[in-house]
């Protein structure tokens, strides 16, 4: 039964408009707040992920191979992470459960538990990005020592935000 149907039913029983509003307003306000909260997460999560694409994710300090400092941006990691192997691949693959969780978050309330599981997997896998110490430096297969930079942290923050958003929305739904 919708709020409008409830309102019509109560007014038909002789309730005044003020009394009807006192009953319906808290439910309507909570539903509106939940919708706003969900929309906020649905916008914030991919915005963080996209921002991370354009920030430096890893920095190669100057080395004997190359005297200049080099930078991998987030988009470099997205495009070439599969080729890094090892820990870099584990971090790269976390984008898949992140995407599945985000789609579930945006689409169905009934899939919230699954979305939490995928978000947890994505976050756990993404933490391996912080342990990555060596990446491919060029097409010839040379590798170099790297240090995580702001882009890696913002990317992990997008994973964490997805997990937290799912948990908050699940808790609100179950109350």
SS (H, E, C) the chain: CCHHHHHHHHHHCCCCHHHHHHHHHHHHHHHHHHHHHHHHHHHHHHHHHHHHHCCEEEEECCCCCCCCCEEEEHHHHHHHHHHHCHHHHHHHHCHHHHHHHHHHHHHCCCCHHHHHHHHHHHHHHHHHHHHCCEEECCCCCCEEECEECHHHHHHHHHHHHHHHHHHHHHHHHHC
Let me know if residue 142 belongs to a domain.
yes
Let me know if residue 6 belongs to a domain.
no
Let me know if residue 105 belongs to a domain.
yes
Let me know if residue 32 belongs to a domain.
no
Structural domain range at position 133: 43-174
Domain of residue 52, CATH code = 1.20.140
Which residue, 109, 125, 120, 121, is CA-closest to 171?
109
Is the whole-model pTM more than 0.85?
no
Let me know if residue 165 belongs to a domain.
yes
Let me know if residue 22 belongs to a domain.
no
Let me know if residue 109 belongs to a domain.
yes
pLDDT (tens, 9 = 90+) of the chain, 175 residues, equals 666 777 677 777 777 777 766 665 555 556 677 788 889 999 999 999 999 999 999 998 887 666 778 898 999 999 988 876 677 889 999 999 999 999 999 987 778 899 999 999 999 999 999 998 888 777 777 788 899 999 999 999 999 999 999 999 998 876 5
User: What is the number of structural domains in the chain?
Assistant: 1
Let me know if residue 66 belongs to a domain.
yes
């Amino acid at each position: 039964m919708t709020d409008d149907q409830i309102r019509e039913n109560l007014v038909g029983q002789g309730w005044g408009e003020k009394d009807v509003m006192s009953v319906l307003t808290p439910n309507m306000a909570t539903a509106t707040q939940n919708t706003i909260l969900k929309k906020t997460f649905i916008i914030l999560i991919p915005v963080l992920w996209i921002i991370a694409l354009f920030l430096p994710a890893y920095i190669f300090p100057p080395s004997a191979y190359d005297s200049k400092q080099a930078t991998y941006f987030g988009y470099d990691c997205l495009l070439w992470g599969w080729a890094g192997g090892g820990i870099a691949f584990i971090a790269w693959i976390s984008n898949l459960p992140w995407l599945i969780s985000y789609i579930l978050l945006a689409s169905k309330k009934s899939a919230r538990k699954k979305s939490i599981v995928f978000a947890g997997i994505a976050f756990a896998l993404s933490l391996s990005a912080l342990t990555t110490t060596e990446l491919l430096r060029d097409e010839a297969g040379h590798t170099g020592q790297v240090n995580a930079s702001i882009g890696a942290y913002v990317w992990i923050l997008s994973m964490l935000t997805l997990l937290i958003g799912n948990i908050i929305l699940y808790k609100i739904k179950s109350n």
